[in-house]
A and B are shown apart, each in its own frame.
Chain A
Amino acid sequence: MSQVTVFYGLYGSGKSEVSINYALCLAREGRAVTIVDLDAVTPYFRVRDVRERLLEEGVRVVAPKESVRHADLPVLPEGIRRILMHGEGDIVVDVGGDPTGARVLGGLKDALRPGARGLFVVNANRPFSRTLDEAEEAVRRVTTSAGLPPQGLVSNTHMGELTQIEHISYGLEFAEALGRRLGLPVVMVGVPAWLKSQEEELAGALHGAEPLYLERYLLKPWEIPE
Chain B
Amino acid sequence: MSESLLMKGNEALAEAAIRAGCRFYFGYPITPQNEISEYMARRLGEHGGVFVQAESEVSSINMVYGAAGAGGRVLISSSSPGISLMQEAISYIAGAELPCVIVNMSRGGPGLGGIQPSQSDYFQATKGGGHGDYRMIVLAPATIQEGCDLMATAFELADKYRNPVMVLGDGMIGQMMEPVVFPEVLDATELPPKPWATTGAKGRKRNIISSIYLDPEELDAHNWRLEEKYRKIRESEVRYEVLHGDDAEWFFVAYGTVARICTAVIQRLRKEGVKAGLIRPISLWPFPDEAFEKVADRAKGFLTVEMSTGQMVEDVRLAVNGRKPVYFYGRTGGAVPTPRSVERRLRDMMDGKVPSQTDYFDRVGGAK
Contacts and interface: CB of A to CB of B under 8 A. Distances in A.
Interface in A136-183: 158-160, 162, 166-167, 170
B177 A43 contact: no
Given A162-B179, A221-B261, A43 B8 contact: no
B264 A222 contact: yes
For the residues of B in contact with A, the DSSP-based class is: mixed
Contacts of B337: 221
Nearest to B4: A159
A52 to B, nearest CB: 15
B35 to A, nearest CB: 7
A221 B340 contact: no
A222 B261 contact: yes
Contacts of A199: none
A220 B115 contact: no
Contacts of B32: 43-44
A44 B116 contact: yes
B31 interface: yes
B223 interface: no
B365 to A, nearest CB: 26
Interface in B22-81: 31-32, 35, 39, 42
- Chain B interface residue number, banded: 35 or more
Interface string A121-136: 0011111101000000
Contacts of B261: 221-222
B178 interface: yes
Given A45-B176, A222-B261, A222-B264, A70 B6 contact: no
B339 A160 contact: no
Contact of B4 (A42, A127, A162, A220): A162
Given A221-B257, A221-B261, A43 B115 contact: yes
Contacts of A44: 32, 116-117, 171-172, 175-176
A72 B31 contact: yes
A127 B11 contact: yes
Contacts of A162: 4, 179
A200 interface: no
Given A72-B115, A127-B11, A160-B178, A220 B172 contact: yes
Contact of A45 (B175, B178, B260, B340): B175
Contact of A126 (B1, B6, B260, B263): B6
A72 B29 CA distance: 12
B338 interface: yes
Contact of B334 (A42, A70, A158): A70
A12 interface: yes
Contact of A127 (B5, B263, B338): B5
Contacts of A1: none
Interface in A183-226: 220-224, 226
B15 interface: yes
Contacts of A166: 1
Interface size class of A (residues with CB under 8 A): 20 to 34
B7 interface: yes
B278 to A, nearest CB: 12
B295 interface: no
B336 interface: yes
A101 to B, nearest CB: 12
Contact of B260 (A72, A123, A128, A220): A220
A154 to B, nearest CB: 16
A42 to B, nearest CB: 8
Nearest to B307: A221
A72 B261 CA distance: 26
Nearest to A126: B6
Contacts of B7: 12, 126-127
B36 to A, nearest CB: 13
Given A43-B175, A126-B7, A127-B39, A221 B338 contact: yes
A49 B177 CA distance: 17
A70 B114 CA distance: 7
Contacts of A70: 114-116, 334
11 contacts: A43-B175, A44-B172, A123-B6, A125-B1, A126-B5, A127-B11, A128-B42, A130-B5, A160-B177, A221-B339, A224-B338
Interface of A: 11-12, 42-45, 70, 72, 123-128, 130, 158-160, 162, 166-167, 170, 220-224, 226
Given A12-B7, A222-B261, 15 more contacts: A11-B8, A12-B8, A12-B177, A43-B31, A43-B171, A44-B116, A44-B171, A126-B7, A160-B6, A160-B177, A162-B179, A220-B260, A221-B336, A221-B337, A222-B260
Interface of B: 1-2, 4-8, 11, 15, 31-32, 35, 39, 42, 114-117, 171-172, 175-179, 257, 260-261, 263-264, 334, 336-340
